[in-house]
Structure 1
Amino acid sequence: MPFHPPSLSVLILLVAVAAVVSVSMTTTLQSFRGCAVRDFSFVAFKPGCRGLHITTEACWGRCHTWERPILEPPFIHRHHRVCTYSRIRHMTARLPGCQPNVSALYHYPMALHCHCSICSTQDTECETF
């Protein structure tokens, strides 16, 4: 069976698909709507121990939010959602150089799945307006 090179329209389609894939792989916060799991690095620290660099998974994204004035108290109707954990794995690290009376164990959450929800102070830093 003889080889037939692909037509020009097939090549253009392949280039277009590659361009769409590369754009979706480089999505930035400015263009992303929703909530996703992302690599996150921080220095775990507590008094009496040295710090430890940890890389884990955390929630990242932007959620739909709005406010509108109303005539009765509290005079505003709010719908604020944040990107937060829906499923986590509890992780533990051992901090180096701890003083004898300080536990070296440091506990932190690792995101398995994230979603837009009301902020919970049990696992998220929530700031009020």
Structure 2
Amino acid sequence: MALRWSPSLSLLLFLLLIALSSSALNLRRFTGCAVREFTFMAKKPGCGGLHVTTDACWGRCETWEVRPVGTRQDSVSIIVFVLLSVGQKPIVDPPYIESFQRVCTYNESRLVTVRLPHCLRGVDPTYTFPSALRCECGLCLTRTTECETTV
């Protein structure tokens, strides 16, 4: 049976081409949090490193700041500048700005343990790390997550 070219086949091929070419763009525009495969070097003092592939949380979450009614940025900056210039730490009634900083973080995880190679005598070769089962946009909890970042 020969395949006949038709307008509907052209449309199907066009849509397939668009879907394949836009997948990279979708990741750049993605807002939210998802489980994604991640590879890192597991290491600790006294042992060799081991490349480990696991599931981690990845994404971009909406964050925002709200300035209370009647507060101007200029007045806050002037108050802080004057206090700092006379050697005092600024004591201000919080919040001049209320922040809602959400990060992509683990909602549910399980612990995975691997054995590191070439450990020195007396060094425990086990290395334990979390593997993401579910992720969400939420507050960064320092007891489970490294919340600081460098640019």
Q: State the TM-score bracket (shorter-chain normalisation).
A: 0.7 to 0.9
Listed one character per residue, the Cα deviations across residues 7-35 of structure 1 (whole Å, up to 9, x for unaligned) are 41x12331243134314533454311111
TM normalised by structure 1 equals: 0.83
Match of 1:67 in 2: 65
Corresponding residue to 1:82 among 88, 98, 103? 103
Match of 2:113 in 1: 92
In 1, the alpha carbon distance for the partners of 2:117 and 2:2 equals 64
Number of equivalenced pairs:
126
Match of 1:11 in 2: 9
Return the letter of the residue paired with 2:10.
I
Structure 2: runs of 5 or more not aligned: 72-92
SS at match of 2:29: coil
% of aligned pairs identical?
48
- Residue 108 of structure 1 pairs with residue 126 of structure 2: no
Listed one character per residue, the Cα deviations across residues 51-94 of structure 1 (whole Å, up to 9, x for unaligned) are 11111111111000011222452211111110111121210010
TM normalised by structure 2 equals: 0.72
In 2, the alpha carbon distance for the partners of 1:99 and 1:4 equals 66
Question: RMSD of aligned C-alpha atoms?
Answer: 2.3
Greater strand share, structure number: 1
In 2, the alpha carbon distance for the partners of 1:85 and 1:24 equals 28
Corresponding residue to 1:41 among 39, 42, 48? 39
Q: Which segment drifts farther, 101-110 or 71-80?
A: 71-80
* Cα displacement (A) at 1:3: 8.3
In 1, the alpha carbon distance for the partners of 2:62 and 2:114 equals 34
